[in-house]
Structure 1
């Protein structure tokens, strides 16, 4: 009979397998309706008035491209307002954005540094358009992105629409690994959108009805993950969030392991803290798939990844120790340097692991098809499979550690 730790490995592997199968089956079930969404996506019945807020803090290198991408949107100029908020930048950001003050549709605001949520709220206080959104100052929209998002608001119960986020010109290995992660994100967000279970409205160009903020209040600091908390708050009030999978936005990726670690630590730690703040949503049927599926699955995935990595490391250490004892007892055997990667288990776990990898690749491929990223070399998938599992546990573990010790979530 298997030991309890090994049985727990099987449990987490089966949970992961169930999650993957569920999402892939959902995709094939919804495939026709997803294709139908793409029909006439650019033909709008009307053009609702829209304001895009661009919060800036030390973004002198990218903010110009961000603003120019907004000015290039294929949307009536008299229906589109752009509010740029300099949140107390210490570099040349303010001087850079001032050159855009000549555009009648652009409004420039400057305030002392208080964090992204305060910059957003500073602009929100005087916005009266029907729709309002945010675009991070290191992200860029395509010409038709806004129209593809606005199309979904023709359904009266849609209160927010999230885009499909891709990376801006990934070249280095660490960026290519993230590129695959973002392809998975595009797939996941679309599937969760079909189930009314989207857990975050990302800073790069999520668009809301202004009614959301009128009814639920402004952004909160929310452990420096305001885009996640507002989604939780919307689900709490049964406000519908959907995804426009062809509304592409590109964002600049962290280029070093250190910057990637800090970003993901903030994201995961922020999720755990907000999950605690909204723990009353868990496993409650009244909150639909968000409470019954997404939240439990997200939490279990964090702890399962930590456990599986910890179990593997423990088994590896035990293997090395046993070999060293063997050497001391009987000397160096002829097969000493042979190594079985799955020495700690039977063929069953190997088989399940292969299935998990194959299904992960299938979801990546679907994400790439949706994102129109199929022309890229498949080496990014190779890098992802080889490296992602080695780096993710670091910020998962620290996120849990910081949450348990009630440490504050840092932006930088």
Structure 2
């Protein structure tokens, strides 16, 4: 029991904290041996790009989104803008038609975002595609900061940064902002060591000729599309100076719904990207992928439960003070998380309690997502989570 307890605890620690420490040390070592990766490019050599925005029933925000899009800095003759409003039953297509510099694709039938992206990709004639969501706003230099990386022939995709508007957070969704700040640091180090392991749909780009259509039932299309490119031996670069800003989930229930869907998509991705688990193909990429993604989406949530249960039985068997303190620490952490849940229900805002609460909610979402994928059905065309 003691051996299993410590193995469980160490894997949990490594998944959420230890990998960050190891990654930092590896990056520091790489800098000493090879120096920092090149970050200077000739902005006169920016490639032709197509910006693709899939929008489903986003009429309330589309004018603001298009205004933001048209304000982005990029050579006008090198940029095409394409909005895809397939399945929208509001006035989204009519809103896009008001802007003559923006191209519209619309089909009344709703077949999901993946189908819409496939249709859009068939129209693309530029060497680079940039994808972003309709409910996010980009910084004005985002496209330039992304596109410049393609002067490096080893780069097959570029992931932008997702930023959550923390100023709008006064409830348990504050944990979402903390989580994305930590994720951003890990992605920055991942990219400097070798490659980011997956891109988020809020803002990412690819070389058009490397695009591989994913199966229509794919849940995390952005993740799968980017890692299929990594499978081919190309790097995925992380560009924190190209960011998509969005508000947090409307409440913790909406965030939980989103996390369960991501978790279901995560286990689906792990099962479909088996080649990335083979360290003999690309050791560094496999190491990053398993450490940063696979552990979180598979065994770690189960090991959290196992460590707590085993700690209880070890105390019962040994009466050792050290393990009693360990158990007390676990009880205290989950009590704080439970208190955060109670406070959230009563609209009492104590941010210090919401990080443990968000952590527990996130791991519960993985368990629920695995259950949904294995024993239920995850719809591809899903009802998006409401945001503030």
Q: TM-score, normalised by structure 1?
A: 0.76
Query: Does residue 345 in structure 1 map to residue 323 in structure 2?
Result: yes
**Matched residue, 1:337:** none
Alpha-carbon spacing, 1:222–1:30, altered in 2? closer, same or farther (3 Å): farther
Q: CA deviation at 1:92?
A: 2.6
Aligned-partner Cα distance in 1 for 2:88–2:52: 16
Q: CA deviation at 1:348?
A: 7.3
Paired residue secondary structure (1:70)? helix
Output one character per residue of 1:252-279: Cα deviation in whole Å (capped at 9) or x when no partner: 3321222211211111211111111122
Aligned-partner Cα distance in 1 for 2:379–2:29: 39
Q: CA deviation at 1:318?
A: 11
**Matched residue, 1:245:** 240
Paired residue secondary structure (1:280)? helix
Aligned-partner Cα distance in 2 for 1:221–1:343: 55
Aligned-partner Cα distance in 1 for 2:222–2:94: 28
Q: Tell me, yes or no, if the aligned pair for 1:222 and 1:270 is still in contact at 8 Å.
A: no
**Matched residue, 1:387:** 357
1:306 to 290, 299, 302: 302
**Matched residue, 1:127:** 124
Output one character per residue of 1:219-251: Cα deviation in whole Å (capped at 9) or x when no partner: 443532110111221122112211112222212
**Matched residue, 2:172:** 174
**Matched residue, 1:99:** 98
Q: Tell me, yes or no, if the aligned pair for 2:172 and 2:358 is still in contact at 8 Å.
A: no
**Matched residue, 1:24:** 24
Q: CA deviation at 1:146?
A: 0.9
Q: Tell me, yes or no, if the aligned pair for 2:206 and 2:226 is still in contact at 8 Å.
A: no
Q: CA deviation at 1:14?
A: 5.3
Matched pairs, number: 357
Q: Tell me, yes or no, if the aligned pair for 1:173 and 1:383 is still in contact at 8 Å.
A: no
Q: Tell me, yes or no, if the aligned pair for 2:37 and 2:192 is still in contact at 8 Å.
A: no
Alpha-carbon spacing, 1:348–1:309, altered in 2? closer, same or farther (3 Å): closer
Task: Return 66-75 or 168-177, whichever deviates more.
Answer: 168-177
Alpha-carbon spacing, 1:383–1:197, altered in 2? closer, same or farther (3 Å): farther
Query: Does residue 405 in structure 1 map to residue 383 in structure 2?
Result: no
Query: Does residue 229 in structure 1 map to residue 199 in structure 2?
Result: no
Aligned-partner Cα distance in 1 for 2:311–2:155: 49
Pairs within 5 Å for 1:115-194: 115-168=112-165, 169-194=167-192
Q: CA deviation at 1:23?
A: 2.1
Q: TM-score, normalised by structure 2?
A: 0.81
Q: Tell me, yes or no, if the aligned pair for 1:162 and 1:201 is still in contact at 8 Å.
A: yes
Q: For the aligned residues, what is the CA RMSD?
A: 3.3
**Matched residue, 1:76:** 75
Structure 1 unmatched ranges of 5 or more: 323-341, 353-378
Pairs within 5 Å for 1:208-287: 208-213=206-211, 217-287=212-282
Task: Return 232-241 or 74-83, whichever deviates more.
Answer: 232-241
Q: Tell me, yes or no, if the aligned pair for 1:49 and 1:131 is still in contact at 8 Å.
A: yes
For the pair shown, the structure with the greater C-alpha radius of gyration is 1
Alpha-carbon spacing, 1:4–1:295, altered in 2? closer, same or farther (3 Å): closer
Aligned-partner Cα distance in 1 for 2:326–2:64: 52
